[in-house]
Amino acid sequence: MAVSLKVRATLVALCLVAPAVAYGHGFAGKRFFPATLATDDPFVADELSLPTVSWQKFPASDEGPGGSETDFSIDVAKRITENFGIELGATYKHIRPDRGDAQNGFDNLGLGLKYKFYQNDVHEAIVSAGVDWDIGGTGSKRVGAESFGTITPAIFFGKGFGDLPDNAKFLRPLAITGLVGYGIPTRSGTRTISDEGDIDVERNPHTLEWGFAIEYSLPYLQSFVQDVGLKAPFNRMIPIIEFAMSTALDRGQSGTTGTVNPGIIWAGQDIQLAIEAVIPVNRRSGNSVGVLAQLHFFLDDLFPQTLGRPLIQ
C-alpha cells in the first residue's frame, strides 16, 4: 500500500533532521579521537559501524499524522591510501505512523570520499576535505527516500586541547571535531501527485550542513594529565555532546533544523560503544527526545595486516 503524500512529506522532513551515521576515529599525536555518531569528523580510517540504531518520534502536523521512526544502519569506511578513504552507508527504516500502516524500506545509499591534507601532532590538529553523495533513487519512496541525489562537499576539522598551559591542565582532555558542508541537490524541485490527483512541486534548496562535537576524554585525563584513579569501564569513557545542523539557503526556504546529542562513548581496544540522546533544536526538528546508539569496530586494530590496512601502501 502506497503511503500518502502527506505522510511522505512528513517523512521527508524527518529525513532532513535525522542524524547521519558512520564517522571515523583516529589519532593526532597522542590524542585519540573516537568515532562520532551524528557529525562527521576529519579522520580517514578502516572501520565498521554495525549497527547504528536510532529511534525518534515525529509530531503530527498539517501535512500528516505523527508517529515514530526506527533506523538500522550499517556503514563501512576503507582507506585507499594512508590519507584518502572511501565510505559507504545504508539505512533500513521502519516508520510507524500513529494512523495507518507501518512502512519499511531502505533509505538512499550514501557514498563518501575524504582526503586528510593537514595534521599537526603537537597541537593535536587535523583538517580534511571530502564529498558525500546521497545517491538519489536507490532507496524506497515508501520511507521517504528522495528520487534525487544530494552532493555535499565539506571541510572537516579536529582539535585537541592538550597544548593548554599547566594552569588549565584539566581542560586538556577536551577536544572538538566538526564540519562545514554545502549540500547541492541534483534536482531543483520534486513534483509529486497526491492521491486526489493534485500536483505538488516541492523545491529542494541548497543547504549549509554544519555541526560539531565537543568531547572530554577520560582516557586522556588518566594517561596524560592526572591519574585520578578511574577504574574500568569509566577509564575508557568519553562524554560527548554533538550538534548536527542543516540550514536551508534558497529556493524559498530558510531556517535551521537539527539536533543536540549529549551522550557517552566507551572506547575499547577494538570496538566502541556509544549512546546519545537526540534532542531537536526547534519545533521544525521534532518535539520529542530520541535515542541514537552504535556498535563500532576498529578494523585497523582487528585486522591490522589485512582489512585494516590501506589498499595502497
Partner 1 sequence: MKRSCAAVVLVAAFAWFASAPAAAHAFLDHAVPAVGSTVHESPQDIRLRFTEQLEPAFSHVQVADASGKEIDKGDSHVDASNASVLAVSVPALPPGKYRVQWRVVSVDTHVTEGDFTFEIEP
Q: Which spans of this chain sit near partner 1 (rule: CB under 8 A)?
A: 27, 29-30, 32, 48, 50-51, 72, 169, 219, 222-227, 269-271, 295, 297-298, 300-305
Instruction: Indicate the residue among 24 and 130 with the shorter CB distance to partner 1.
Output: 24
Q: Which residue has 579522520 as its cell numbers? A: 43
Q: Shortest distance, CB of residue 247 to partner 1, whole angstroms?
A: 35
Instruction: Indicate the residue among 59 and 219 with the shorter CB distance to partner 1.
Output: 219
Q: Shortest distance, CB of residue 32 to partner 1, whole angstroms?
A: 8
Q: Shortest distance, CB of residue 98 to partner 1, whole angstroms?
A: 22
Q: Shortest distance, CB of residue 160 to partner 1, whole angstroms?
A: 12
Q: Shortest distance, CB of residue 215 to partner 1, whole angstroms?
A: 16
**Closest C-alpha to 20, from 36, 35, 39:** 39
Query: CA angle, corner 269, sides to 264 and 273, nearest 5?
Result: 30
Buried b (16+ CB within 10 A) or exposed e, 33-47: bbbbbbbbbbbbbbb
If phi > 0 it is left, if psi is from -120 to 50 it is alpha, else beta; for residue 29 that is: left
In whole angstroms, what is the distance from residue 259 CA to residue 281 CA? Answer: 5
- Phi first, then psi: give them for residue 125, nearest 5 degrees: -120, 145
Q: Shortest distance, CB of residue 76 to partner 1, whole angstroms?
A: 11
Instruction: Indicate the residue among 180 and 295 with the shorter CB distance to partner 1.
Output: 295
Instruction: Indicate the residue among 5 and 50 with the shorter CB distance to partner 1.
Output: 50
In whole angstroms, what is the distance from residue 190 CA to residue 200 CA? Answer: 8
Instruction: Indicate the residue among 176 and 302 with the shorter CB distance to partner 1.
Output: 302
Instruction: Indicate the residue among 81 and 226 with the shorter CB distance to partner 1.
Output: 226
In whole angstroms, what is the distance from residue 12 CA to residue 99 CA? Answer: 17
Q: Where are the alpha helices (DSSP H) in 152-262?
A: 218-220
